[in-house]
Amino acid sequence: MIKAYSKFLDKLETVEKIFLGITVAIMVTVMIYQVILRYCFASANSWSEELARYIFIYDVMIAAAIATRKNAHLQVDFLINLFKPKVKCLFTIGATIAGIVFLGFLFKYSLTLCQTAASNISAGLKISMSVFYACMPIGVVLMILTSIEVVLKNIAQIQALNKEEVSGK
């Protein structure tokens, strides 16, 4: 079961990386356009700065899901590394489950934010703000999906360690 789930997340991560590659290229292009317009022609427009900002926010949320899956978030693991592998797995499971609970609350409130912002229109792009705020629930769902994989892999690792202990005795 975990192999099929991991394969699904591998494909999803590929889509996320393609999305990030495209949006980073767009963001850099828009920012270069904005700089040239502002400093070479002493003119500016509002949509380019707004677009670059919102693309960046989407990219952060998508990349956070990839970082969650790879356990690459900033963390203080000095104390955890002092423990045996089984205890490390238990701490990781506990922390990840706590994170999933937090993400569940964040998802609920981010949906409310999207609904509230639906009537607001962005100043430069003239698009509903709910489109931009949708990065929160999208990113949260992706982080929950990857967090579930982290929990399942750590449970499997604990089971493997238990089998080693039994067969080693």
pLDDT: is 93 or 79 the higher one? 93
Residue 74 has a pLDDT of 65
Residue 1: pLDDT band by 50, 70, 90 thresholds? confident
Summarised one tens digit per residue, pLDDT across range 50-92 is: 999 999 999 999 999 999 988 777 666 777 778 888 999 998 8
Residue 58 has a pLDDT of 95
83: which DSSP letter? S
> Please, which contacts does 87-95 make with residues 24 or more away whose CB atoms are closer than 8 Å?
89/154, 89/155, 89/157, 89/158, 89/161, 90/154, 90/158, 92/150, 92/154, 93/151, 93/154, 93/155
Summarised one tens digit per residue, pLDDT across range 124-167 is: 889 999 999 999 999 999 999 999 999 999 999 999 988 888 87
One-letter identity of residue 34: Q
Q: Which two tokens stand for residue 7?
A: 């394969």
Rounded to 5°, angle at Cα 56 from 51 and 59:
125
Rounded to 5°, angle at Cα 49 from 43 and 53:
170
Please check the confidence at residue 168 and state whether its pLDDT lies above 90: no
Contact 38, 52 (CB under 8 A): no
Domains of the chain, residue spans: 2-168
Residue 46 has a pLDDT of 82
Residue 38 has a pLDDT of 87
CA distance 17 to 66: 9
